Amino acid sequence: MLDNKNFFSEDVTRREFIKQGILGLMGTGIALSGLDMLFGKDVFAAFDADPAEKIGRMYFRKLGKTGLKISEIGMNGGILKDPSVLSFAMDAGLNYIETGPEYSQGEAERTLGKVLKLRREEIIVATKWKVFEEYRVKELETSLNDSLKRLNTDYIDIIQVWGTRRKTQVNHEPIFEAFQKLKEQGKVRHLGITVHMNVVELCDEIIANGQYEQMTVAYHYDNHEEIDPVLIKAAQNDIGFVAQFIDSGMEKISGPHKGTSRGVLEWMLKNKYLTSAIDYMNTIAEVDELLQVPRIIRQ
């Protein structure tokens, strides 16, 4: 059962939340007359439900067709240097981290591996494949096996195609062959992809491809009106959507925490169609502040 009782604060009533959601959709160019085509007759009722489930101290949302439940706030592990920061975050309920073999020449994966060695079953890990059109299955297998060694684990929850720029990367056939082979070996569970540029075009291609279960997208206040229709489309196709590089335009978001990562997260997590937002957290103090946001917006 979802716990909806405390989702809205005194400052954001159910009626105001519905209104804001509708205005946000209008801002993307979706006319009200078209909403029924997107969501059916229950479009307004949909805004009145908490998209997350509270477990312990954290709220979790389903990551699309993977079926995984991940914390509403995850960690961008690209510059992770201190394993104790991640351990503290996990104690506070965070269970999702994204990393990659290219980050800090592999040191980010090695740092994460120090935690996984002791707490593997408590966290969902995504790492990456760099994919060029000339890459074949062998290169992708080698990359994943090297990541497994650095991460001190025998399986990856999500392998992501890293920073796609072209449709040919999205549709590169060796990706799917390598993924299926490695999945059968028990080394990887789900296939994801990340997009930082040409976002609308590439996300549409990802959705049309049908083989990706999750996407991590550069999504923030400055580009959300353009990308919101794609986010909604991903949700309709049961593809998990994780926001990355979320701080652009933070100074434009109103509220007492304007211009801060906390303010960004308070704004972003009101989006029903988003699965999670990941951010850099380099200190225990940052973790302590940011991981309280899911609870605060529901008071």
- Predicted pLDDT at 132: 87
pTM listed for this prediction: 0.83
**Mean pLDDT confidence for 93-120:** 95
Rounded to whole angstroms, the Cα distance separating 182 from 141 reads: 7
| pLDDT at 17 > cutoff 90 | no
User: Which residues are known to be catalytic?
Assistant: 103
Q: Are residues 263 and 254 in contact, defined by beta-carbon separation less than 8 angstroms?
A: no
Domain ranges in the chain are: 1-50, 61-296
User: Strand 240-244 and strand 276-279: pairing?
Assistant: parallel
Q: Is the dihedral of CA 121, 124, 129, 130 positive or negative?
A: negative
Architecture per CATH, 61-296: Alpha-Beta Barrel (3.20)
pLDDT digits (tens, 9 = 90+) for 118-142: 999 999 999 999 998 999 999 999 9
